Structure formats: structure tokens, C-alpha cells
A and B are shown apart, each in its own frame.
Chain A
């Protein structure tokens, strides 16, 4: 095997496949295991070792097809009457091909070995080929060993402090990404994945918290009392002091009017991933009327199913936001649902189009639930400007946060999970 494989791995990386050095080494070992005689086998081998998500299979297969295509010329020379590959000479985006003559050689005249100049030599191991000669295999293995050495040197070189700092910087940058601006469609799916990752991180933290609380602290007093009660001097059963953490119930009330639509969908995605941390989740969306979408939401896929949310019956996306009306309606319909374990999460910019705020309705809601958390997708300096009336609602809520970057979203979710 040659640097060709390394080039291929680099190409996969540029296409967004997160390949580590360890995986590259695995790929090399795997290839040395199966040999190079079967192209299909090579493809499956590389894919097994390198691609860890079936969503990336298509990308991999396309690139493999383009990268490891056996040129017609060589096949004829070797006298293997196989069907010519679909993509012919000139399609491979590789530097190696530059030195190759593109005119086909007569099939009946085998090329003398002396004429194998260097680029062709390299190509021989690049592509799978009939490994009739033992020598080829041995040589390939030899080169593989050399390559492994090169990889180790490469690892030693690339783990520089600068690089680590750069990746930390990139991480910080990502957290600052504004989520209230439109994304190109291909970026959007990434962002949903990002939100999911964030939620997963919070979840594991939450799981740890619950576990610690559940395990409890050893209670010496009760252990001894229990031991005495059962009449044995050695206390058989240990007693623990356990804190009881009951799961919260969550009601999400989400403005989905045009101006905040995108942030809302990110929040919904976040809540969806977090829903196993709650006893129950009810999701309501509104523009000027509250509509319950819990059923759709539970198994909704982002961003594929967003259209069905958009066209949900009774939801008029083109109406004017009316928070007052929404809170009034909510207090009428859902007051009975609220318990002391219920957290109400509201997302909206509080731009009320000069309707009556009806803040008293929200006050009523507050009296019946545990907490109200309000996320505003506008930067703080824009609050209470124009028709924004967040000041009318803020005193009622337990927390009011701005929410226009991933970092804000993370903070909000963290608050949400606290009891």
C-alpha cells in the first residue's frame, strides 16, 4: 500500500468524516489482512474500519469509486479480461496519474517489466489487482510497515500545542454561533446534530447527579439501630440516607412565528433530546393561539418533519403574535395540569404587536407551577424596544435569559435540568 491510502483518508476527512489516526492505522492493518486482490473486499474493509456511521456510507462509496478506479490500460496489459470499470482514465483526481500515458497499449503485447516507470509502480499498489504474485503482497506489506512508522512520526508531529489550542478555539467559536440567523440547508442538519450533542452532554451530567443522589450517603445511626432491632450484633443491612430526586414535568410553550421560528426549532430539538430526563413533556406552540403538538413532537425528526409542524392544523404561522391572548388561553386550559413539579419553559421575543399583555394570566400560571423559565431569542439590548414588552412578564418569571447562541441554549438547558 502506498501514500495513496493516506491521501484517501485525508480526502475523507475533508468531506467531514471524523477519522482519527488510530482508525487510519486500523484501516492499514485491515488491508494487510485481506490483501489487495479483491476491489469490493477492499471497499468493505476500508469502510468497516473507517466509517462509523451509516449516514456516511454514501459519501464513502462515492469517494472510493472515484479514487480507486483501475485504469483500463493496466488491466489489459495484465491479460485479465475483466469488464472495464465504469469510470475510465482521466477521472481520477490524483496526482499520480499525471505521468501516465493515456493511450491504451495493445492488449496482445505485454509490457516489459523494465518499462514500469515510477508512477505506474505506485499505481500498482494503489488499486486492488490480481495478487497472483507473492512478491507483490510481500512488498505491499513491507510498505505498509514503513507507512505505519511514518504515521507514528506524523502523530508525534501533529499533536502540537498550537493545534490543540486551535481546536479549543474552534470549540469556543462554535458555542458562539448565532442560532437566530438563517443557515444554509446543509449547515442546518449539522446544527441540529450539534444541539443534540449538547443535550447529550447535559443528560449524562444529569444522570450522574441522579445516580449520586440515588446511591445516597451511608447512614451509621440507622444501620446500628437496624442491627440492634434484628437482634444480631453485626449489622447485616446497611442503611443509606437517600435524597429523593423526582423527575420534573415540563411544559414547553414555544413561539413559532416567523421571526423566532429557527431558534424555536432548535429549542424543540433540545427539549426532544432531553425528554427522557423528565417525567413528562408537553409541547405547545403558538403564534396567536396555543396548539398542542406533543404527539407529533415525541417522534419528530429534525429537520425532516419541520414541514408538518409548520402545517399543523389550527396553527396559523402568518398571524400576529399575541402573548396576552396565549397566556390567557393557557391559564384557562392548562391550570389543572400544573403541579408543584411542573416547569414551564417559554420561548418568545415578547413582541406583542400592541395587544393587551394580560400579564396577570401568566401570574396565575406562576402560582400553580414550580418555575417559569423564559428564553428570549433577541439580544438583551433589543428587549423592550418597539413592541417588545418583556418587562411586563419578566417580574413574574423565575428566570429570563437571552437565547441566541448555542452557549445560551446550553445554559438554559442546564438551568432547566436543575430541580
Chain B
């Protein structure tokens, strides 16, 4: 079960950056095919610096409270980062997943992959404006490992 502390409750009561973003420059989707849960990330990309950066970010989720908390925390961290920073954030999050309980790992992974998908979609669209929104699928399972031997892959 999620460890409940004041910071977590704050995110549950008022999730940061929840909702869609009118006029977003790119979207990305993280999906868990096991249970149909998904996260959509909307990015407003700043272009006035050397490298594109996340000027604004929103997320929406079909998922549990853990997903919403992970979305709230990770989008807060992602806001203001340039694309290299955002990719590092995704990578760092993915490295932490093994330390989390199965259900929490799948939720955090879904958010991280949605951020990666949005960044990748933006980059692809610079070459091809009609490039479709990228969806990445989680490799962690919501079901604890001992109950679920097979794993989904990207």
C-alpha cells in the first residue's frame, strides 16, 4: 500500500498540473495494457533558448490515485526542464522503479513514459508535422510479480 504522508496527501487533494492544455505543442501517452490505465501528457514547448524546453505541462489519467500522485510529482519536476533534462528525469525515474512496490512502479513508469512520448512526438514532428502521437507501453505489471510471471514489453 502507498505510504501516506503529508506531501502525498497534498498531491492527492490538489494534483498539480492536472487537465488538458489548450494549444499544446505535443502530446504523449503512457499505457498499461494489463488494466487499460493510461496517462496523457500535454506539452507547451519553449523555443527561445538553445534547446527546446518544457514551458508548461499538463497530464490527464485514467488510473488510480497512485498514478495521479506520480503525475502530479513528475510533471512538477519536468516543468521548466530542457529536453535533455526531461530525458534525464525519465531515465532517473525508470532506474528507481525496481525499488518500488509493483503497483506503484507501473504507475510511475506510465507517467515517465508519457513524458518521454510527448518529448519524442515533439521531436518527430519537427521533421514530419503529421507524425502521430506516440504511445509507450509499461513493462512493469500492476500485479505483484509472484502472481504474474509474464511481463508486457514495449
A binds B: no
- Residues in chain A within 8 A of chain B (CB atoms): none
Residues of B within 8 A of A (CB): none
